[in-house]
Structure 1
Amino acid sequence: MEKINLQLNKKELRRTLLQKRQSMTSLEWREKSDRLTTNIQNSVLFNQAKTILAYFSFRQEPDISFLYTNSQKRWGFPRCVSNSLVWHFCQPNEVINLGAYGIREPHPESPRIDIEEVDLILVPCVGCDAQGYRLGYGGGYYDRLFSSPAWNAKATMGVVFDFAYLPQLPVASWDQPLKAVVTENGMKNFRCFFPDEAKIRIL
């Protein structure tokens, strides 16, 4: 597989990784998404969580929507309001709106989620590195979310294809590392929430 130039700045690296992701065939994207979904399902973090914040796949992000059929979990999805994310309980078969970026969002009148209810956040990423740092889309929505100590204390799992799991990303002073990263090849944990999870060192 072609190597990613780690000397690129964030903007160039983001463009390179997005181009690589969108060049995947539908078959490759589906197969890798399914393997990644299985890895999430098998994780202790997922199985211990009751209320999970997730995302609707956009621009060939890993499609983990099969997870949302699990009726034992309560699912929340984000809505962009000004420069912040507002989270709502939502099932995929409910009314979905298109937000300002063309991303599917819950209806504004869907029940909101209190931070105290959240057990796990599945975080979409352009890239992640071996220290748990995340490269996003440049809008800063998750950076602002995790700048709050209460949100930063939550279990977070970056969701990314393996080609975008890199040894090191450019890091800014405000970047907050994720607690775990999952790819189609396995899972890596950085801050363990459960004793059994500490044994997982697949990547």
Structure 2
Amino acid sequence: MDKVDHQKSKVRLRRTLIKTRQSMSVGEWREKSDRICTVLQSSTLFLQARTILAYFSFRQEPDLSPLFANTHHRWGFPRCIGQSLHWHGWTHEESLNINTYGIKEPLPQAPTIDPEEVDLILVPSVACDYRGYRLGYGGGYYDRLLSSPEWLTKPTIGIVFDFAYLPQLPVENWDQPLQAVLTETTNVIYPETG
């Protein structure tokens, strides 16, 4: 498969999976999201983490917000600035902005979180495969983040629904495998990346 076909394949797969995700009823989405939160709370990587980078659900991504009131963890969320993600602390009492993509993010004056403070990154994904690779939204924000030296060794968990946990995804040479993938029924840690 040449590079153009490879990209078209990723675009088609991304479109199909997002459509499937958005076709879930609100009740099914809430139930599966709650199950993901339950599985995550029993994950060793989660239990050992103090500072966790997460995301606000967008386009019916798995919703982790019930966990954000847990004050045992310090929570960080991304702000898109240029081509990069910048991480800011946030507590559930604080206000949020809506960025140009329509995604919630902390206010600009929220305290920043430096890489050395981070114990775990919960990575939003369109899909993940059995090897730990993820399919994102095509903007490359997480690819750039996870391949930079200061973030390369941070534990990562891709969060997807079962239907988006696939045997194999198209992979580019810059793609970084995640350390683990978690769905509403599965928590898989990949020893070769851990």
Which whole-Å CA distance do the structure 2 matches of 1:166 and 1:14 have between them?
Answer: 12
Instruction: Tell me what 2:4 maps to.
Output: none
Instruction: Tell me what 1:150 maps to.
Output: 150
Instruction: Tell me what 1:198 maps to.
Output: none
Whether the 8 Å contact between 2:178 and 2:193 is mirrored in structure 1 is no
Map 1:125-144 → 2, pairs under 5 A = 125-144=125-144
Which whole-Å CA distance do the structure 1 matches of 2:83 and 2:191 have between them?
Answer: 28
Query: Structure 1 pair 172/193, CA: closer, same or farther in 2 (3 Å)?
Result: closer
State the secondary structure of the residue aligned to 1:150: coil
Instruction: Tell me what 1:122 maps to.
Output: 122
Give 1:193 shift: 9.1
Which whole-Å CA distance do the structure 2 matches of 1:35 and 1:126 have between them?
Answer: 18
Which whole-Å CA distance do the structure 2 matches of 1:80 and 1:52 have between them?
Answer: 18
Map 1:178-193 → 2, pairs under 5 A = 178-191=178-191
Whether the 8 Å contact between 1:45 and 1:193 is mirrored in structure 2 is no
Unaligned runs of 5+ in 2: 1-7
Whether the 8 Å contact between 2:62 and 2:159 is mirrored in structure 1 is yes
Whether the 8 Å contact between 2:177 and 2:193 is mirrored in structure 1 is no
Which whole-Å CA distance do the structure 2 matches of 1:34 and 1:155 have between them?
Answer: 22
Identity %, equivalent residues: 63
Unaligned runs of 5+ in 1: 1-7, 195-203
Instruction: Tell me what 1:35 maps to.
Output: 35
Whether the 8 Å contact between 1:77 and 1:106 is mirrored in structure 2 is yes
Give 1:177 shift: 0.3
Give 1:92 shift: 2.6
Supply the AA of the counterpart residue of 1:166: L
Instruction: Tell me what 1:23 maps to.
Output: 23
Map 1:1-203 → 2, pairs under 5 A = 9-191=9-191
Which whole-Å CA distance do the structure 2 matches of 1:143 and 1:188 have between them?
Answer: 21
State the secondary structure of the residue aligned to 1:101: coil
TM-score (norm 2): 0.94
Supply the AA of the counterpart residue of 1:178: L
Give 1:167 shift: 0.1
1:95-117 deviation per Cα after TM superposition (whole angstroms, max 9, x unaligned): 10011100001000100001100
Supply the AA of the counterpart residue of 2:17: L
Moved over 4 A (4+): none
Whether the 8 Å contact between 2:88 and 2:112 is mirrored in structure 1 is yes
State the secondary structure of the residue aligned to 1:170: coil
1:3-27 deviation per Cα after TM superposition (whole angstroms, max 9, x unaligned): xxxxx71100000000000000111
1:24-46 deviation per Cα after TM superposition (whole angstroms, max 9, x unaligned): 01111011001110000001100
Give 1:91 shift: 1.1
Count matched residues: 187
TM-score (norm 1): 0.90
Give 1:192 shift: 7.5
Comparing 88-97 with 155-164, greater Cα deviation is found at 88-97
Supply the AA of the counterpart residue of 2:179: K
State the secondary structure of the residue aligned to 2:151: helix
Whether the 8 Å contact between 1:155 and 1:193 is mirrored in structure 2 is no
Whether the 8 Å contact between 1:77 and 1:88 is mirrored in structure 2 is yes
